[in-house]
Structure 1
Amino acid sequence: MNEVVETLRKIEEKYKLFQQQQFTFIRALERTREEAHDMIRPVSSIVQVQCYKDHHCYNSTDRRILNMFISICNELRCLCQRMETVHAGDSVTKGLLEKCKVLLNDSNDLTALRATYPHGVVNHLSLEEARHRYGGVVSVLPIVLDSMREWVTHSKLKVLYIVSPGCARCKKETPTSPEAPAALISTKNENTVKLQEKDFKKFMAANQRPQKKKAPWRPPGKHP
C-alpha cells in the first residue's frame, strides 16, 4: 500500500507541472490538429493525442508537452494494475478502479467528460474550446486522480477496520506484566487460608462439648 501511495504522489506532482502548462498543451493540440487537417472534430480520446504527436508534430515544445500527457496516462494505467494486486478490494474500490480503467482506455470517448469544482481546468479554456474541442481531454487526468485518491482513502479505512478489532482483543487478553498471574495466585491462596481458618473456628465452636458449670462454694453445714 505504501508503494501505491508513493507512486500516486509522484504522478500527482508530475500532473501539477503539466497543469501549469495547460495553455502550452492546448496550443500544441491546435497546431497538430491543423497539420492533420482535423480542425472540425473535438479531441475526444487519448489515442487521438498520440496520433497527433506521432504523425503531425514538428515542434519540440509541442512534442514535449504531448509526451508528458501520454506519459501520465501510461503511468496511471500501470498504477491501476498495481492497485488491483495490492488490495483485493470491495465493491467500492473495484468500482473506482473500473472507472479509472475505462477513462484511461486509449479509445474511450472523452467528448462529454468535464472536470468540475474544485478543478479549474475547464474554466481556463475559452467557451468554444471548453464546449467543442478540449473540455474532455483536459478533464480526464484530474478525474482519474480523484478516483485514485478515493481508492487509497477507502482501502486504508478498510484495512484499519479489519486490524483494529484484533488489536483490541490482543490488548485485552494480554497480561499487563509477567508477574500478574503469580500475583493473582498469591492473593487467591491468601484468601483460601483465611476462609479455612474461619471455617475451622466455626466448626470448633459448633462441635465443642459444653462444660459443666461448677456450683458456687458454700461453707459446710446445713443449708435450706
Structure 2
Amino acid sequence: MNEVKESLRNLEQTYKLFQQQQITFITALEHTRENAHDKIRPVSSIGQVQTYMDHYCNNATDRRILLMFLNICCELSKLCQKLEYLHPGNNVTNSILETCKTLVSHSNDLSTIRATYPHDVVNHLSCDEARNHYGGLVSLIPIKLPRDMLRQQSVSFQSAGDSPKRTHRAVVSKERAPAPLGQPPASQTAATQTAVSYRDSLQQEIKQNPEKHPAGAGRKLCKILNGPWKPPGRHAF
C-alpha cells in the first residue's frame, strides 16, 4: 500500500506542474488540431490526443506538454491496476475503481464531463473552449486522481491488517483478566489440583508405609504444598 501512496504523491506533483502549463497544453492542442484539419469536433478522448501527438505535432514544446498529459493518464491507469491487484476492496471502492478505469480508457468519450469545485481548471478556458472543445479533457485528471478511493482502500487494508492484532490482544486480555472474587485463576487452579493430588497420594503412601517416612513428614509436606498460613482478608487469595 505504501508503494501506491508514493505513486499517487508523485502523480499529484507531476499534475501540479502540468496545471501550471494549461495554456501551453491548449495551445499544443490548437496547433495539432489545425495540422490535422480537425477544428470542428471537440477533443474528447485520450486516444485523440495520442493521435495528434504521433502524427500532427511539429514542435518540441507541443510534444513535451502532450506527452506529459498522456504520461499522467498512463500512470493513473497503472495506479488503478495496482489497487485492483493489491486488494479486492468492497462495493464502494470497486465502483470508484471501475469508474476510474473507464475514464482513462483511450476510447472513452470525455466531452460531457466537467470538473467542478474545488477544481477551477475549466474556468481558465474561454467560454467557447470550455463548452465546445477542451472542457472534458482538462477535467479528466483533477476528477480522476483517486484520493477518496485510496483512502477507503487504505482503511480497508488497515482493518484487514489489524484483525490478527485485535485477536491477539483479545486473547492476551482474556488470559490476563482477573479471576472473579474468591476464585483463583485457571492456571493457579490447575497447579493447585495437581499439588493436592500429589499430596493425597503421598499421604496415602505414608499411612501404608510409615516405617519408610520420618514422623511429621505429612505435616511438613502439607506446609510446603499449601504455602505459609495467611490470615483471612484481602490477601487470602
Residues 109-139 of structure 1: per-residue CA shift (max 9 Å, x gap): 0110100000011011111100000000001
Shift of 1:80: 1.1
| 1:151–1:194 distance in 2 versus 1, CA, 3 Å | same
Structure 2 partner of 1:136 = 136
Q: Which ranges of structure 2 fall in alignment gaps of 5 or more residues?
A: 193-225, 233-237
- Report % sequence identity: 51
Once the two structures are superposed, residues 137-173 of structure 1 have per-residue CA deviations (whole angstroms, 9 ceiling, x without a partner) of 001111110xx21111111222333444653442243
Give the distance between the partners of 1:175 and 1:51, measured in 2 at CA.
Answer: 64
Separation in structure 1 between the aligned mates of residue 118 and residue 3 of structure 2, nearest angstrom: 27
- TM-score, reference length from structure 1: 0.76
Q: 2: CA distance between counterparts of 1:69 and 1:156?
A: 27
Q: Deviations over 1:12-33 (max 9, x none)?
A: 1111110110010000001111
Structure with bigger RCO (C-alpha 8 Å, 6+ apart): 1
User: Of 162, 165, 168, which aligns to 1:167?
Assistant: 165
Secondary structure at 2:44's aligned position in 1? coil
For residues 23-62 of structure 1, the aligned pairs below 5 Å read 23-62=23-62
Give CA deviations for 1:49-100 in whole Å, capped at 9, x if unaligned: 1111111110110000000001111111111111111111111111111001
Residues 37, 160 of structure 1: alpha-carbon distance in 2 compared, 3 angstrom cutoff: same
Larger Rg: 1
Q: Which runs of 5+ in 1 are unaligned?
A: 196-224
Counterpart position of 1:115 = 115
Report 1:1-224 matches (<5 A).
Answer: 1-145=1-145, 148-164=146-162, 166-174=164-172, 185=188
How many residues matched?
190
